[in-house]
Structure 1
Amino acid sequence: MKISTTALLEELKSKTIHHLQFAETLLLKPENELNFRISADSWSVLECLEHLNRYGDFYIPEISHKISSSVTTPKPDFKPGILGNYFAKSMLPKEKLNKMKTLKAMNPIHSELNKEVVNEFIKHQQQLLDLLDRAGNIDLEKTKTAISISKLITLKLGDTFRFVTYHNARHVVQAERVLKNI
């Protein structure tokens, strides 16, 4: 499977703009609604975003560093790697979200959270948009990034962008479902 590099970056930018706009609407809601959970073991809207912020704290600096140090030139098409494609596709939201275990350090359940979480998520989405713009000037296959669970495993930058964006989409959908239950 090959994807036009331009089309891939545009798709990811479009999704990221949607995530950014969603987060901006959350700033208008009271914190008690953003801390509401459907059940004792489910995440609130703020916990969904805090989970994404924790991943963003790893991936945004990692991606930024790899883009800044890349000496490659862009290619017209991107071919996902086997592992990267698997990780990215596993994050895509589905009609019935399949539950996944998260690492303890990435699980924000029962944290004391406020709207600063939303502001941080907005900042991350703005940074991601900037990185997606900058990525148009390098090779998304030859430029590799570490992953959060092991610095020994690397993914093509294009797959890392897909993973991060689809993971964001997954938890934005989860947060939207929580809001529908208030």
Structure 2
Amino acid sequence: MKIPSKQLLDDLKISTEQNLKFAENLLNETDEKLNFRPSEKSWSILECLEHLNRYGNFYLPEISKRIKNSDTKPTEIFSTGILGNYFANSMLPKEKLNKMKTFKSMDPIHSKLGKSVLNEFISQQKQMILLLKKAENIDLNKVKTSISISNLIKLKLGDTFRFVIYHNVRHIEQAKRNLQ
């Protein structure tokens, strides 16, 4: 897939701003509602966001470091990598959500959680928006990032942004279903 770099970053910024607004609105909900679990094996709203925070704790510093250390110039067009495109597209929410296994370290089920999870998520989304703005000044094709499951696999920065933000959207949709 080829997409103008600016359009990609703008689209991802809009998604992140929507996730941020959703989380800010959750601050008005009761702890009971935020911790409600539809079934024993499904996540509560706070567990969904804690899961995202755990990934954010890896990806935000990784992205930040790669942007800071880049001396590339921005390019007009971003071309997805084969692996990066696969990972990113697998995260997009679908009509009938395909369930995925998560790593034990990233699974917050049955954790005792409070609104500090929301505050951390809100902070992470604000950081992501700043990183998306900084990324306008570098080459999304040439800058590579490690991924959370292996330092041996590197993705183009544009694909990493897509993966992380689509993953956020996926679990925000899950959290929204819990609100109903």
TM-score, normalised relative to structure 2 = 0.99
Match of residue 124 from structure 1 = 124
- Cross-structure match for 2:163: 163
Write the deviation string for residues 38-65 of structure 1: whole angstroms up to 9, x where unpaired. Answer: 0000000000000000000000000000
> Counterparts of 1:163 and 1:2 in 2: how far apart (Å)?
16
Question: How far 1:112 sits from its partner (Å)?
Answer: 0.3
Cα drift, residue 155 of structure 1: 0.1
Give structure 1 stretches of 5+ with no counterpart.
none
The one-letter code matched in structure 1 to 2:120 is: E
* Letter of the 1:28 counterpart: N
Secondary structure class of the residue paired with 2:137: coil
Q: Deviations over 1:139-176 (max 9, x none)?
A: 00100000000011000000000000000000000000
DSSP 3-state at the match of 1:97: coil
Whole-Å separation in 2 of the counterparts to 1:97 and 1:46? 19
Query: How many pairs were matched up?
Result: 180
Aligned to 1:38: 38
In 2, distance between residues paired with 1:9 and 1:52? 20
Measured in 2, the distance between the counterparts of 1:101 and 1:10 equals 30
Q: How far did 1:95 drift?
A: 1.1
User: Which 4+ stretches in 1 moved above 4 angstroms?
Assistant: none
What secondary structure is seen at the aligned counterpart in 2 of 1:151?
Answer: strand
Matches of 2:100 and 2:80, distance apart in 1: 23
C-alpha separation in 1, matches of 2:155 and 2:96? 28
Counting only pairs closer than 5 Å after superposition, residues 8-87 of structure 1 correspond to structure 2 as 8-87=8-87
Mapped to 2, the partners of 1:38 and 1:97 lie a distance apart of: 16
What's the counterpart of residue 172 of structure 2?
A: 172
Structure 1 CA distance, aligned partners of 2:80 and 2:98?
A: 23
Distance in 2 (alpha carbons) for counterparts of 1:96 and 1:116: 31
Give SS of 1:136's match: helix
Distance, in Å, in 2 between the alignment partners of 1:151 and 1:114 is: 32
Q: Aligned with 1:67: secondary structure?
A: helix
- Give me the CA root mean square deviation: 0.4
User: Where do 5+ consecutive residues of structure 2 fail to align?
Assistant: none
TM-score, normalisation: structure 1: 0.98
